[in-house]
Structure 1
Amino acid sequence: MSVRAAVRRPAHERVPWPLRVPAAVATAFLLLPLAGMVVLAPWADLPRLLTATQAVQALRLSLVTATAATAVAVVLGVPLAFVLARSRSRAVPALRALVTLPLVLPPVVGGVALLLAYGRNGIVGRWGWEWFGVQVPFTTAAVVVAQTFVAMPFLVVSVEGALRSADAGLEEAAATLGASPATTFRRVTLPLVAPGLAAGAVLCWARALGEFGATVTFAGNLPGVTQAMPSAVYRAFETDPPSAVALSLVLLAVSVAVLLLLRDRWLRPGGSAA
């Protein structure tokens, strides 16, 4: 770039040189662990490690449960996001804070909370056990419950943001033309927020796929039953580190794919999930 072009660059696009060194350190700090994983990965043994029975079971279980958790999050989270975005109740700010709490809650604490709610002695789970002999913890269903608990807020935040930025005039026009609230929501509102819903669903799915703390606390780590990919990585790291690295590479690849898929909404200048 010529000196003249550099001089013409807007001031807000110039990076002060004192910031460049710590920025480079921060970049290295974040990327070096990932680079170490890629460079030192057992690439020659990767096919064998990823086709081992335990790895295949963990991958299959993770894909099934993460997809189920995302479906539950969409069914429950979209109406919740609509309430948060459109309700004028004074309780909405408190409700928003509570439903987004899993975003900052330590996952293990979330797992303990799920046990106290849905365990045999939980405030809800005790009735299922006493009346029907059914327990949720330490089953495949518990994996879905834990993943939904930690991942749904990502979808709710994304959809709420999309609803707030949607053109309300189109909804008002549909209502003026005689459309019922349900028809307006289905034919007008949902198409308007579809990009935000898709982004939230993808992020929700990725978060569910990578969930560990709440899952291992609430569902356990039983191979073929509750052992998802992160749990398999944790167990393999104690006995078979190359397998742990191989499984970690799969989760890393999924994370990169999600970022690439959402780059137009998250990584563009001024972009956001909403």
Structure 2
Amino acid sequence: MKPLCFVALGDSLTEGIGDPVDEGWRGWAALLAEGLGAREGAVREGAAHEGAVRFHNLAVSGSQTGDVLDRQLPVALELRPDLVSVVVGVNDTLRCTFDIRAVAARLDEVYAAAARHGAQLLTACLPDPGAMLGLPGALARPLARRQRAVNAVVHALSERYAAVHLHLSDDEWVADRALWSADRLHPGERGHRLVAARFHALLAARGLAAGSPPSCEPQLPSPTRSASLLWLATEGTGWVARRCTDLLPQLLTLAADEVRHQVRGSSARLDLSATHAVTAALAALTVAEQPDAA
């Protein structure tokens, strides 16, 4: 019996940041892998126990959709995976080069390649970083709008490729601080365990998870509010600066535009424009796939 091969692609969320073990990170994907096999449980990097799971985590902190397409996907396909998770997009929203049409095209290419190779896709929509960091409204709303656009694309493409899709952008998930690490941007151990358990339930419903679901109870205590505030005061500003160096001037411009529309009572135009951009991005993919269509 061939072991199931599970390959995880994405950024820091999938890399496991926020869920420390020994001297590294574990994360939701590794926890999920442990619950997929019927016998031995998951083992890292290619052990070939019958009925077990070969798990490869190719996710790298800071990755954008282009990194997944150009660097991670080719390695993943060489592993001949049965299961591929693709959870990415937040870092794209933090760049001045953000273009929802380009994001949609990259994700479509990644999803299509995995599907062509017979792999089952796992995807997720994500909360926006502005809400997680508690940025002021004028700064947070442009980022939220971008993340909603990415999520809309992920929703549409997940349906197109019959992906197992998990909703992680709901208010309940975002508001429960016990699920998040001190940095307020990555899940803590409890959050990673919850993501793994939710994916496991969805896979089990399709007959794709033969093992026991991951426990949702953490082994380490959740970070305190004071720890979160300390991180924000000491490292948080630096993290945002590193991720948003090229975005900050543009974000200030977007914030000023946000305020102008709010004063005029025309904020709905910004939302409508973002919706049209998503529609155009998805329509472009349809045209590209059907060049002979009238």
Say yes or no: TM over 0.5: no
TM-score (ref. length: structure 1): 0.25
Kindly name which structure, 1 or 2, has the bigger radius of gyration based on alpha carbons. 1
Higher strand share: 2
Instruction: Tell me the TM-score normalized by structure 2.
Output: 0.24
Structure number with the bigger relative contact order (C-alpha 8 A, sep ≥ 6) is 1
Q: Which has the higher helix share?
A: 1
